[in-house]
Amino acid sequence: MADYDVVVLGAGSGGYATALRAAQLGLTVAMIEKDQVGGTCLHRGCIPTKAILHAAEIAEAARHGAEFGVHTILERVDLAGVRSYADATVARLYKGLAGLIRSRDITVISGTGRLLPAEAPDAPPRVEVGDQVITGNHLVLASGSEARSLPGLEIDGRRVITSDHALRLDTLPKSAIVLGGGVIGVEYASAWRSFGTEVTVVEALPRLLPNEEPELSAGLERAFRRRKITALTGAPVAEVDAGDHGVRVTLSTGRAVEAELLLVAVGRGPRSAGLGYEEAGVELDRGFVVTSERLVASTPRTYAVGDLVAGLQLAHRGFAHGIFVAEEIAVAEGKLDRSPVPVRDRDIPRITYCDPEVASVGLGEEAARAEYGDAVTISYDLAGNGRSQILKTAGLVKLVRAPDGPIVGVHLLGSRVGELIGEAQLITTWEAYPEDVAAAIHAHPTQSEALGEAHLALAGKPLHVHG
């Protein structure tokens, strides 16, 4: 007999979502975590960074208040105060999450869990935590991800830092180089610039946010230039020299850039090394757990969720994985009579919280052409949207449609457009046609009208669109 119905290794977004849903379905659950429940997202990622970005938005608004007839002065940015605000936000959410987990009678075991080989082919999976061994009828691997660096680039935590260090800075740098133009890189570049730091973003690929549509990348780069953020794209790093007084980064082009510190934001990798996965027979690929479409790993009764599974590294993907796996296990245990629908990355919304924001869901134009043989696209400029003009934001809505078919991708650029992604996701996942959305009445003046206008145009009856 196993100790629990479900043992979850890791209490981040994917792990605690699994635990909560499994307990809700009447399964006994143990969750093993060496740190605090909530994982990277709550303590070092989504929540504190977005709190910092909101503080940066306030600083930006104060600096430009005169444009709106409100003459404000930005006296100073108190980074300790910003940290205190972010920490308080995290603490409130952590308290609520911990209480929720207690209320579901989930056993939380503190310590580093290590997977052990099964004692027999039909034996329950085993996890070693300190001097005890925990067994479960089903095991869910949810150990998450960690910040990556480049080969040979030493992270010293002082001049060369990761996003984890950036959250705990005591003072703002006067100048900074951000290595990596992906989501983490452009968000920190945006926040620091709003606080007054001189920022240079270095990206080896030809454009910022290389996984987004080229039009969105181009629009973001224009906005960054207006904000005096330097973006050096198509520029791999050749050498990094860190000293007592700063950092010098030499690019493959021979150009050198100097600043007080270097933020290494080249992405995150799976946290699977040293946890006994391979020794227990779990198949890995570049550190990611290899799974089926239904998130089943290579060893019996074992699943993987969240950042351990190759694909989008997003907290809400982890939540969705966790709910799916908990329901899948509940079906196997006779607690649920209907199998859940697998999670598809193309249905997961993506938001980058820089200024302006970038948000998207579904397929890009290139991917749609590869899947359907062709694609129909249209872009609606936010210059025609009243609410966007009030907010003084530039940007666009790009729609991607399958030939004579539904909308398969929605891509957005502009201040606050992340709030539109919910409707955009409904459009793509419910396979709406342009005429379906065009018939919906969008409140005026709102930015959601931009979605309506774009669909009106694609349906052949544009209203606030110049010919």
- Give the integer Cα–Cα distance in Å for 40 and 46: 8
Task: Say if residue 184 is exposed, middle or buried (CB neighbours under 10 Å; 0-12, 13-18, 19+).
Answer: buried
- Residues marked active site are found at 444
Predicted confidence (pLDDT) per residue in 194-213, tens digit: 999 999 999 999 999 999 99
Q: What is the reported pLDDT for 121? A: 83
Phi-psi region of 59 (alpha: psi -120 to 50; beta: other; left: phi over 0): alpha
- Give the integer Cα–Cα distance in Å for 430 and 437: 11
Count Cβ atoms below 10 Å from residue 80 Cβ, excluding itself: 10
What pTM was estimated for this model as a whole? 0.95
- Give the integer Cα–Cα distance in Å for 156 and 317: 31
Q: What percent of the chain has pLDDT over 90?
A: 95
Predicted confidence (pLDDT) per residue in 414-459, tens digit: 999 999 999 999 999 999 999 999 999 999 999 999 999 999 999 9
pLDDT band at 51 (very low <50, low <70, confident <90, very high): very high
| φ and ψ at residue 264, rounded to 5 degrees | -90, 110
Predicted confidence (pLDDT) per residue in 56-85, tens digit: 999 999 999 999 999 999 999 999 999 999
pLDDT band at 467 (very low <50, low <70, confident <90, very high): low
- Give the integer Cα–Cα distance in Å for 198 and 159: 16
Spatial CA neighbour of 114 closest among 126, 127, 101: 127
Q: What is the reported pLDDT for 222? A: 97
- Give the integer Cα–Cα distance in Å for 14 and 233: 33
- Give the integer Cα–Cα distance in Å for 305 and 295: 7
- Give the integer Cα–Cα distance in Å for 318 and 312: 9
Q: What is the reported pLDDT for 63? A: 93
Q: What is the reported pLDDT for 342? A: 97
Q: What percent of the chain has pLDDT over 70?
A: 100
Q: What is the reported pLDDT for 255? A: 95
- Give the integer Cα–Cα distance in Å for 320 and 467: 42
Predicted confidence (pLDDT) per residue in 214-248, tens digit: 999 999 999 999 999 999 999 899 999 998 889 99
Task: Say if residue 35 is exposed, middle or buried (CB neighbours under 10 Å; 0-12, 13-18, 19+).
Answer: middle
Three-point CA angle 339, 307, 33, nearest 5° = 90
Please name the amino acid found at residue 276: G
Spatial CA neighbour of 33 closest among 48, 14, 47, 46: 14
Residue 92 has pLDDT above 70, yes or no: yes
Distance set, CA 380 to CA 91, 391, 434 (Å): 41, 17, 14
Q: Which two three-digit tokens encode residue 314?
A: 């997003």
Average pLDDT, the chain: 96
Secondary structure string (H, E, C) spanning the chain: CCCEEEEEECCCHHHHHHHHHHHHCCCCEEEEECCCCCHHHHHCCHHHHHHHHHHHHHHHHHHCHHHHCCCCCCCCCCHHHHHHHHHHHHHHHHHHHHHHHHHCCCEEEECCEEEECCCCCCCCCEEEECCEEEEEEEEEECCCEEECCCCCCCCCCCCEECHHHHHCCCCCCCEEEEECCCHHHHHHHHHHHHHCCEEEEEECCCCCCCCCCHHHHHHHHHHHHHCCCEEEECCCEEEEEECCCCEEEEECCCCEEEECEEEECCCEEECCCCCCCCCCCCCEECCEECCCCCCECCCCCEEECHHHCCCCCCHHHHHHHHHHHHHHHHHHCCCCCCCCCCCCHHHCCEEECCCCEEEEEECCHHHHHHHHCCCEEEEEEHHHCHHHHHCCCCCEEEEEECCCCCEEEEEEEECCHHHHHHHHHHHHHCCCCHHHHHCCCCCCCCCHHHHHHHHHHHCCCCCCCCC
